[in-house]
Each structure stands twice: as C-alpha cells, then as structure tokens.
Amino acid sequence: MGLLPCLRFGSDRWWLPRSTEIGEVLGELLVAHARSVPVDQSTHRQVLQALQTDPPLMLFASLNWPGSDGSFSDLADWLIQHACESFAHGDAFLGAPELTPELQTRWRELSDYFRTLPLEQWLDKADLWLQVTGPPVPQSWRIEWPVINAERADLTKQTSEETNRGCLLQQLARLAERHRTLEQSFDEELHQSKLAALKQLAYGLSHEINNPLANISTRAQQLQRGETDGARTATLQRIVDQVYRAHEMIADLMFFANPPPESVEECKLLEILRSVAGSFEEELGRQAIRLELSTPQGEIAAKVDPQMIGEAVRALLRNAVDAVGCQGTIVLSLVSENDQAMIHVADSGPGLSDLARNHAFDPYFSGREAGRGLGLGLCRAFRIAKLHEGEITIAGGPAGCVSTIALPVERH
C-alpha cells in the first residue's frame, strides 16, 4: 500500500491510500504519458473501472476535478490527462504520514465499509477518509465539491487488445529501451554538434590568432639577432617558444575538429613504441624518471597510420611525464588481448579525480590544478584512436594513472 498525491485546500493537506491494483493502473498511465502514446479505449475502460471500485481513487479524482457537475467518464478523462502532472507536483508527497499498521488497518476498514454503500454516497462521506490523515474538512471547501453522476458505466465489453494487454513490467521495459535509444541518439547528435562547434572555433582561432602569433615570433627573432645581452636573449627565446606552443594548441584543435585522412599500412607496433620512448630519453634523464618498456614475446602488427599512432602514444607519455614531475616511474607496455592490441602507459604520478577522468579527453577541460595536465594532447590521442576504430581509456585512483589505447588487430 502506498499514497496518492496529497489533496490541498489552503495550507491544509489530506492523504488517501493507493492500493497495489490502483498503483498498476496509474503506472500504465504514467508509462503512456512518458511514451507520448494516445490513450485507447481499453485504457479509458480500465481507469473508469478503477474509479467505480476504489473509493480513495474516486475521491482523489473528484476533489481535484475542476468541474462542478459530471460523470465517472468525465473523471476518467481528467485523471488520464492529469495523472502525470499530479504525481510530479513539487509537494505531491511532501510531509506524507508514516504508513503505520494502525493507519493501514483503518483504511482497510473504511474500504470495506464504502463497498457496502452506493456510489452516490461516496463523496458525501469523504470526510471519513480525510480526517484519518488530516484536519477536519472546512465547510468552505466542501461547498466547492462537484456533483458526480453515480450511474455506473457498462464495463462488460472487452476488446481483444485489452484482453491481450501486456503487463506493466513489459511496458516499463519497452519504455526503458526507448529511452536508451533516445539517449544514444542524443549523445551522437551532441557529439556531432560539439565537433561542428569545435571546428568553427578552430578555424576562427587559426585565422584570427595565428597571424598575430607569427608577427610576434618574427619580431622576437629579429630582436634576438642584434641582442648581445644574454638575459634579454633568453627572454626573447621564451617568447618565441610560447608562440610555438600556442600555435601547436591551435593545430591540436584543428586536428580534433577536422583530422587529415590517415595513411594506413601494416606496422610493427613495438617499433613505434620504441621510437616514441627514445624521443623522451634525454628529458627523462634530466628529471630522474625511469621508463620501463614491457614488450610481448612476439611482435604485434596492425594496420595503422604509424605517424598518428606515434603521436597518440607520445601524448599519453607526455601526460605521464608532466604528472610524475621527477623521480618517478613510467611503464610503457604492449599486450595482445583477443583481437586487440593494448598499449598501456602507467605512471606513478598523482591520481585522477572522477571529474578529471570523465573529462580527460575533452578539449575544453584542464586538470592542471590537480597536478596533471589533461590538455589538448589527450583529445588528439582520442581522435586518433577513433580514426583507427579503436578505443582510448584512462583510469586512476588516489595515486597513479593508467592510459590505454586499444587497437583492432587482424588475425591471420
């Protein structure tokens, strides 16, 4: 047993019980609303029967109905149209009473009693139900109550559709499946809209910012040529370096939004990993970071663009190096699992928060405040993995992080 949404008059609230059978009827109405399915004759018949056999539901509909004179059919129409609105109301269940055994016993007694009464007396004796969970019924409210034609509708006819009606659980399952499909479609549309917006942003940045950056870089290099002061020369060089960094960021955005076509060929993945690892050797030595390369017993080959895959692995290693800082360990490994080649980059740096992990490959998100730079390099790696029909994931806890690129491998 549960509760129907509260009845309201002024600041007072009253509550009526909801039986399991009535819960199923209302549940089907809410499912129909959620699916935007027109209510058919069989549903109307079911609601009409519930109103004529369940006193609390009849009282709930009558005391909420805005009309002054009508029939049970009118009540059924109103309930069908407003069931969702009634249950979704902000204070529909605010301050609800506890469903104690004593309260439920009293409601069962009233239900048995009302079934001995003719329908035309149910509304006249509504205060017997209302005073169980609320204050006395104000006379000013009572005079507003409608007059309901108590003539019973003919419920003997039953359509084949009603006879073969699926259960509520089946309808809920179908609704959940529809919502899942809608969510997938929405996610795909959102992703495409995001790429379109990013492409527009990247083109704008490329046009509006690259030209000033080129002028800044050219001017700084001209000043360097005639500069004899070492400190000033170093300052000018930092300006040039930062200009190149900004240019690379714009290039990463351009790549994410509109990547070039990949040049696929049969490649040995281990050779790509060794080449990328070698490019970090000098930097890792300066920062006292130990890089371990874990290799498989046999070579793993895949049809990929070697330059792009190298860039993706380089982005993951760069993220790991930035996270470790100095005196740490990074493990670069290659393993074969089923029909996939898995490239793992594990580091001993700070872990990832749930927020950072969820947005790790988002070009608009930066996690540097947490000690790890989740910048444009990772979104570039994400794009490369997708271009190769692969996946890229990042996992981490309080300490350490593991990034993984999964690439499909053809078995011979």
Q: Supply the DSSP string of 7-72, one letter for each residue.
A: EEETTEEE--EE-HHHHHHHHHHHHHHHHTPPP-HHHHHHHHHHHHH-HHHHHHHHHH---SEEEH
Residue 114 pLDDT > 80, yes or no? yes
Length of the chain: 412
Report the predicted TM-score, pTM, of the whole model to 2 decimal places.
Answer: 0.48
Give the pLDDT confidence score for residue 152 in this predicted structure.
57
Residue 288 pLDDT > 80, yes or no? yes
Number of alpha helices (DSSP H) and beta strands (DSSP E) in the chain = 15, 13
CB 11: neighbour CB atoms within 10 A?
A: 6
CATH code for 184-257?
Answer: 1.10.287
**Residue 406: pLDDT band with limits 50, 70, 90:** very high
Give the pLDDT confidence score for residue 154 in this predicted structure.
52
- The residue among 257, 19, 236 whose CA lies nearest residue 115 is 19
Digit-coded pLDDT (tens) for 371-405: 344 456 777 888 888 889 899 888 875 567 888 99
Digit-coded pLDDT (tens) for 142-164: 888 888 876 655 554 444 444 44
Q: What's the distance, CA 214 to chain centroid?
A: 42
Handedness of CA 302, 377, 201, 390 (dihedral sign): positive
**Residue 259: pLDDT band with limits 50, 70, 90:** confident
Give the pLDDT confidence score for residue 158 in this predicted structure.
46
**Token pair for 151:** 């003539």
Question: What percent of the chain shows pLDDT beyond 90?
Answer: 12
**Residue 409: pLDDT band with limits 50, 70, 90:** confident
Digit-coded pLDDT (tens) for 196-209: 776 777 777 677 78
CB 203: neighbour CB atoms within 10 A?
A: 15
**Token pair for 365:** 């998100």
Domain 265-408 class, CATH top level: alpha beta
| Average pLDDT of the residues of the chain | 80
Kindly list the domain boundaries of the chain, sorted by start residue. Answer: 2-165, 184-257, 265-408
**Residue 369: pLDDT band with limits 50, 70, 90:** very low
Residue 168 pLDDT > 80, yes or no? no
Digit-coded pLDDT (tens) for 169-204: 555 666 566 666 666 666 667 667 766 776 777 777
- The residue among 68, 43, 45, 72 whose CA lies nearest residue 57 is 72
In this predicted model, which residue has the larger pLDDT, 254 or 48? 48
Digit-coded pLDDT (tens) for 305-349: 999 999 899 989 988 888 888 888 999 999 888 788 999 998 888
| Within this chain, domains 184-257 and 265-408 share the same CATH topology | no
Give the pLDDT confidence score for residue 373 in this predicted structure.
44
Give the pLDDT confidence score for residue 405 in this predicted structure.
92
Which residues lie below 8 Å from residue 203, measured CB to CB, with a gap of 6+? 254, 257
Give the pLDDT confidence score for residue 239 in this predicted structure.
92
